[in-house]
Amino acid sequence: MEIHQLRYFLAIAQHGSFTAAAEVCHVSQPSLSAQVAKLEAELGGALFERSRQGSRLTPRGLVFRPRALEALSQLESGRSELEELSGLKRGEVTLGCLPTTGAYLLPVILRTFREAHPLIQVKLREESSPILGRALRELEVDLAIMDEAGLGPGLRSEILFREPLLVAVPPGHPFAARKKIELGKLTGEPLILMKSGHGFRTIVLDALARAGVQPRVVYESAGIDTVQTLVEAGLGLSLVPTMVRRADGPAYVEIAPPTPSRTILLARRDSRALSPAAAAMREVVLRCFRRGN
């Protein structure tokens, strides 16, 4: 059994296709298929069911997948420890971040990190919290700045900060003149939300449910900036994080207690030791928020 065989196996399991896995792994499909066949022969049975719709794991493959993930994790940890012993200053870290927060948080983090560790390469991945949580478990990112909607088994997290939600309303809307509003007042109002699959949408829907509001969703968007632009145009109301508040645009109204909020976290895989590069990034991120950036 060889390392590249495990990588090929996990890539097929993730993408559901030998063709897609070959592209991701930068190898020809015949070569990838041959290596997987050798792995299946060594393990004594098929790991995938092939069909015109793609490839899915067999029961044998489902059992083997977490073991393959853990094996690669242990190998990466061993390599990181050896690098640390040798005092290696170069390295690579993959940092995940929410699209709704990246523009606000990443500049100071990346600038501080580059000043401290100029030879370490940083790769960025912007996704919703649920996708970032999965990417952490599958070893695709080392650390992720995300909200609580992405947490689950196998992950640990450290709180960076909490921020209250605001109601974004069109300028001139009756609510715009208020300093605070009860969330229950949104009953019957046209709402603009993030699309399904976005962690922030889950946070908003949970907050509305706790307030007894059955949302009347008129528009959905994949971007918080688009949501705010639609609100400004008078097409509906929305709940937004305080972080994205604009100087010009919608009017913003605070929410009366119990005020809903979201928690921004630094998350990592629970069972995996951080590489020196990832540990350095963690230290920088925590330091940035300790000093109030």
Specify whether 156 is located in the same domain as 170: no
Specify whether 100 is located in the same domain as 214: no
Q: Which of helix, strand or coil describes residue 172? A: coil
Question: Which DSSP category does 288 fall into?
Answer: H
In the listed set 14, 35, 68, which residue is the last one of a domain according to the structure? Answer: 68
User: E strand or H helix at 271, and its extent?
Assistant: none
Rounded CA separation 65/40 (Å): 13
In the listed set 12, 44, 68, which residue is the last one of a domain according to the structure? Answer: 68
Does residue 190 have a cis peptide bond before it, meaning omega lies within 30 degrees of 0?
no
pLDDT for 71: 87
Rounded CA separation 80/185 (Å): 54
* Domain span holding position 236: 161-262
pLDDT for 291: 57
What is the Cα Rg of the chain in Å?
A: 23
Residue type, 209: A
pLDDT for 82: 66
Specify whether 234 is located in the same domain as 278: no
pLDDT for 207: 97
pLDDT for 84: 57
pLDDT in tens, the chain (293 residues): 888 899 899 999 989 999 999 988 888 999 999 999 999 999 999 999 988 888 989 999 999 999 998 888 888 777 766 665 455 566 889 999 998 788 889 999 999 999 988 888 999 999 999 999 999 998 899 999 999 999 999 999 999 999 999 999 999 999 999 999 999 999 999 999 999 988 999 999 999 999 999 999 999 999 999 999 999 999 999 999 999 999 888 999 999 999 999 999 999 998 777 888 899 999 999 999 875 54
Backbone φ and ψ for 90, nearest 5 degrees, come out as -85, 165
pTM for the full predicted model = 0.69
Residue type, 75: L
Is residue 6 packed enough to be buried (19+ CB in 10 Å), middle (13-18) or exposed (0-12)? buried
Number of domains in the chain: 3
In a domain, 214, yes or no: yes
Specify whether 176 is located in the same domain as 240: yes
Specify whether 117 is located in the same domain as 144: yes
Domain with residue 38: its CATH number is 1.10.10.10
In a domain, 136, yes or no: yes
Pairing type for strands 155-169 and 251-255 reads antiparallel
Taken in order 165, 167, 171, 177, is the CA torsion positive or negative? negative
Backbone φ and ψ for 205, nearest 5 degrees, come out as -65, -40
Domain with residue 114: its CATH number is 3.40.190.10
* Paired tokens of 290: 């300790």
In a domain, 76, yes or no: no
Q: Which of helix, strand or coil describes residue 250? A: coil
Pairing type for strands 91-97 and 143-147 reads parallel
Taken in order 143, 148, 151, 155, is the CA torsion positive or negative? positive
